[in-house]
Amino acid sequence: MFSLAGRNAIVTGAASGIGLAAARALAANGARVAIWDLNEAGAQAAAAALKAEGHSAIAARVDVSRRADVDAALAQLHQAFGKAGILVNNAGITLFRDFMEMTEEAWDQVMNVNLKSMLVCTQAVLPDMLEAGWGRVINVSSSSAQTGSARMSAYAASKGGVIAFTKALAQEFAAKGITVNNVPPGFVDTPMLRASEIGKVVDQVAAASPMKRAGRPEDMAAAIAFLASDEAGYITGHTLSVNGGRYSN
């Protein structure tokens, strides 16, 4: 357990999967949590569940690629809890498609959600962190960016951009008390994975992995909670691979 008491955290894409597990982990460690998701009903349900457990949580419908949505949700956080100190950029979409069948529209959609959101959300929240002289930005990338993945060129490229973005931002803000790190999940059993074209073979793929099981959202959440803590204050620009041995760096 890490004490995040007094910290206000934002988790994007937190209505389910890794984002929801991260919101729960941050709340369990004492943070007040804002759940941002395009799925408004899911976000509200997640916040209600956290509040029922005695935690402080709010929810907002947010398109993370739209600055107006982000600014409105940030204003809600300011009114409810105060300034933001932790940002978990988790929202993302996946896409399986042969490269020669990739359209510009599909490519742009993946880039907007997975990569443009890094600019939009982080740029909006950083003034709070700069004012406080303390901040944690944790980006969820992907092991597909580390290893490559057939039929996932847009997704892998967007997540590779997340890793590079993390390193660049870490250098720029290291002296300001703000750390920027990323967690690239491996093969994690989430609703998004189950809904994808490999959803029917999750168990078979997991059985062939080094640990013989799929990752759990809670595995990712534990790493995110650590990177959000004071104990991780001397770690920045780091890629903390949580993948059960799928990729070693």
The enclosing H or E element of 146 equals helix 143-147
CA distances (Å), origin 76, targets 13, 40, 83, 238: 17, 15, 10, 31
Q: Is 155 a catalytic residue?
A: yes
Nearest 5°: the CA angle 140, 244, 144 is 45
**Which amino acid is residue 49, in one-letter code?**
A
The pair of structure tokens assigned to 31 is 């943070």
Q: Which one is catalytic: 2, 36, 81, 155?
A: 155
| CB half-sphere exposure, 35, CA atoms < 13 A | 32
Q: By C-alpha distance, which of 29, 11, 45 is closest to 222?
A: 29
Burial of 12 from C-beta contacts in 10 A (0-12 / 13-18 / 19+)? buried
d(CA 10, CA 58): 10
Nearest Cα to Cα of residue 24 among 166, 216, 185? 216
User: At 159, which amino acid appears?
Assistant: K
Give the C-alpha separation, 195 to 213, whole Å: 18
Under 8 Å between Cβ of 121 and 45:
no
- Which are the catalytic amino acids? 155
